[in-house]
Amino acid sequence: MKNIVVLVSGGGTNLQALIDAQESGAIKNGRITCVISSKPGVYALERAAKHGISSRVIARREYPDIISYSQAVLDAILEEKADLVVYAGFMTILDELVVKAMPNKMMNVHPALIPSFCGKGYYGLKVHEEALKKGVKLTGATVHFVTEVCDGGPIILQKGVEVRDDDTPETLQRRVMEQAEWKILPQAVSLFCEDKLEVRDSRVYIKD
Ligand code: GAR
């Protein structure tokens, strides 16, 4: 059974999708053992508590720089004996010292079809604002392994979602979450825990 540590910063709907998948048996060979939040008081922490999952707050604002913050997060991940770390709406770009300690063991859900609308500055609602500004007809979500390049790691799963003429950033965000993120994130986590993901030459292959 693999230990899954989930990193959050906000509402935690992706965390909820993982909890629901765990409770319905859809995550095979893994369980969420700890939730770590970069902000105190966020709703994601309540979601964890309601389901008996332990949590820690490692507040970004209490650390003077990103290196000391990243080291504190890594220490917690190692203490929790994490086999997999999931960024589920985690809004801090950690120093590469964390990924170096957990190569191909950290995954992130991004609310667009990478390589579109991704990288530094593209997070949350901003991603959907930019997609609407560009006028794309199709957007979606991506789950990828975390590397030192922001949103640049090997892609595990993607799912497309249509953009409607009357969409606002909020309606589009909701549809991308419902139709894509909440589905592919638990799937990717389960595939990882079942040892079905193989990374070769920066590509992810899914074993039968
Ligand atoms: C989600 O849409 C997630 O994909 C996005 O923030 C939202 C968090 O929602 N993440 C990023 O933009 C990371 N670059 P949640 O807290 O309800 O899961």
In the chain, what are the domains? 2-206 (3.40.50.170)
Nearest-CA neighbor of 57 among 102, 23, 10, 95? 10
Residue with the nearest Cα to atom 3 of ligand 1? 89
User: Given the CA of residue 17, which atom of ligand 1 is nearest to it?
Assistant: 18
How many whole angstroms from 70 Cα to the centroid of ligand 1? Answer: 20
Does the active-site annotation cover 110? yes
How many whole angstroms from 91 Cα to the centroid of ligand 1? Answer: 8
User: Given the CA of residue 177, which atom of ligand 1 is nearest to it?
Assistant: 2
DSSP codes joined into one string, 65-131: SHHHHHHHHHHHHHHTT-SEEEESS------HHHHHHSTT-EEEEESS-TTSS-STT--THHHHHHH
- Ligand 1 touching residue 160 (CB < 6 A): no
Return phi, psi of residue 203, to 5°: -120, 150
Residue with the nearest Cα to atom 9 of ligand 1? 89
Residue with the nearest Cα to atom 11 of ligand 1? 123
Question: What pLDDT, on the 0 to 100 scale, is given for residue 208?
Answer: 84
> Which residue in the block uniquely carries the two structure tokens 């990374």?
199
What average pLDDT does range 120-133 have in this prediction? 96
- CA distances, 175 to each of 21, 123, 194 (Å): 19, 16, 28
Q: Which of 173, 176, 177 to mutate to test the pocket of ligand 1 (most atoms within 8 A of CB)?
A: 177
- Enter the pTM of the model: 0.97
Residues in the chain: 208
**Residue-wise pLDDT tens digits, 51-69:** 999 999 999 999 999 999 9
Share of the chain above pLDDT 70, in %: 100
Task: Say if CB 42 and CB 89 are below 8 A apart.
Answer: no
Parallel/antiparallel/unpaired status of strands 106-110 and 138-145: antiparallel
For 145, the token pair is 């392994």
Residue environment code for 74-104, b if the CB has 16+ CB neighbours within 10 A, otherwise e:
bebbeebebbbbbbbbbebebbeebbeebeb
**Collapsed DSSP state (helix, strand, coil) of residue 143:** strand
How many whole angstroms from 90 Cα to the centroid of ligand 1? Answer: 7
What average pLDDT does range 136-154 have in this prediction? 97
How many whole angstroms from 65 Cα to the centroid of ligand 1? Answer: 23
The confidence band for 30, taking pLDDT boundaries of 50, 70 and 90, is: very high
What average pLDDT does range 87-110 have in this prediction? 96
Residue with the nearest Cα to atom 17 of ligand 1? 13
* 164, burial (CB in 10 Å: exposed 0-12, middle 13-18, buried 19+): exposed
